[in-house]
Amino acid sequence: MTPSTPSTPAGASPPEASPPDDARPRGRGIRWVRRSEALAIGGIAVAILLMVLAHVLPKELDWTVRSRNYPPLHATWMPRTGPGTPFAIATALLLLVVGERVARTWPWRRLLVASAVAAFAWMLCLALVDGWAGIADVLESDIEYLQTARQVDDVGATLREFVSRIPAGSEGQWPVHVAGHPPGALLTFVLLVRLGLGTGGAAGIVVMVLAASIPVAVMLTLRILGAERYARLAAPFLVAGPAAIWMAVSGDALFAAVAAWATCLLAAAATARRWWAGAALGVASGLLYGWCVFLSYGLLLLGVLAVGVLVAARAWRPLPWAVGGALVVVAAFAVGGFAWWEAYPVLVERYYAGIASERPYSYWVWANLAVLGFSAGPAAGAAVALAASRLRAIRDGGALGVLVVLAIAGIAMVLVADVSGMSKAEVERIWLPFVPWVLLGTALLPRWLRLPTFAVQLGTALLMQHIVFSQW
């Protein structure tokens, strides 16, 4: 059985038109491969240097950066092992040995299933380093959504009073995470409670299952747009890496899953052959994108990714349908009593009235990128360098153009979020919806570098999970 070949979007050349990135052709090709090797190694080195400096400088220079005792992560130094340790190590070794071969050779559908299972297993093993508490206790924290969700018995009243309870010191003020997000985040957990999944353990498993679907959605997006080969090359990096530490049992992982499937549906809409199918898929995509904006204020930046999908597909037909779907969500919340545009300024005021005012922008504007190195892994440095070096491919189209435009969209979302000043610290979880798209650039790694780079990713995850403790 051989993998099926996706149809090619209108205006794009077939995947075979792009030369293999791991080949070593003569002449200019050899120079390009050597350049790619230098870019990849340099990108990883820069990422690691940023990670080291962001951790060492505050301690050595006595900077007050307000990130617990392991800057730049919002985490605590806590070396430990636990029940999940041997399973996490075994899973890492198995992924390292077979991951690349499976991604290249398995039939497509089987690969998608294997990717979801492997992603779930990786998250589960890492979480279980702290035993069952690593799953069950996180969402039970008093800063999270679940405790508040259990108290909601009138959704309409919750929406109507939501903005008035955002300010610090207000009557009945929301807990930190509830106040820091639009009500869609809280309502998602309200739904879990009403479905009988309102315990920390049950909600945690649901979050991990959804998070495990993210690699599937991202790979499907690439395949739909005619870039299956690059989806396969990026697959190991999408499935397993340090991000799994925060993907497991994090509300932001749930947000990332919704964003990934919204993007996949938009790609399907852009390549649909029948207008009605494109319209239906476009509306469905818009509904999910709209819901994303009510999960996290920062996910308004997904508009950059949506435009990237349409550029990659060379098709703008789904745009009005997607916008219409998103506006339905906006209108529904407004009718229910919550206006996003009224809430955001209130949130900004609370954000800067609290710890954000004590976190120096001059540090966090670059330390956030170091946090991305911890979360997405040092391979993110290589992914950024390689994608940025192939910008011309966007104009040329084809499978390579698809890959590059989506990777650049991921990078752009991170940069805009970073300079905004609304993401000072804690981006190991806040930027989870952007991480898979940034990591698409790993598909451009030269062949001999893929395995050692993947080993660095897995090693970083194992090390960080065993030496620091994060509350999410």
| pTM tops 0.75, yes or no | yes
Confidence of residue 27 (pLDDT cuts 50, 70, 90): low
Average confidence (pLDDT) over 54-72: 93
Predicted local distance difference test score (pLDDT) of residue 359: 93
Q: What is the pLDDT of residues 159-193, one digit of tens each?
A: 999 999 999 889 999 999 999 999 999 999 999 99
pLDDT, the chain, mean = 93
Output the six-digit token pair for 4: 């099926």
Predicted local distance difference test score (pLDDT) of residue 390: 95
For CA atoms 378, 237, 209, 412, give the dihedral sign. Answer: positive
Confidence of residue 18 (pLDDT cuts 50, 70, 90): very low
Predicted local distance difference test score (pLDDT) of residue 32: 65
Predicted local distance difference test score (pLDDT) of residue 354: 81
| Angstrom distance (rounded) from CA 405 to CA 425 | 27
CA separation, residue 14 to residues 11, 23, 315, 421 (Å):
10, 18, 16, 41
For the chain, what is the radius of gyration of the CA atoms?
A: 22
Confidence of residue 34 (pLDDT cuts 50, 70, 90): confident
For CA atoms 102, 107, 110, 111, give the dihedral sign. Answer: positive
Strand partners, 469: 76
- pLDDT > 90 fraction of the chain, expressed in percent and rounded: 87
Least confident of 56-70, 109-123, 203-217, 293-307: 56-70
- CB-CB contact of 161 with 170 (8 Å): no
Predicted local distance difference test score (pLDDT) of residue 24: 42
- pLDDT > 70 fraction of the chain, expressed in percent and rounded: 93
Q: What is the pLDDT of residues 217-271, one digit of tens each?
A: 999 999 999 999 999 999 999 999 999 999 998 999 999 999 999 999 999 999 9
Predicted local distance difference test score (pLDDT) of residue 15: 39
Locate all alpha helices (DSSP H) within 195-250, ordered by sequence. Answer: 200-212, 214-224, 228-239, 243-247
Average confidence (pLDDT) over 202-227: 98
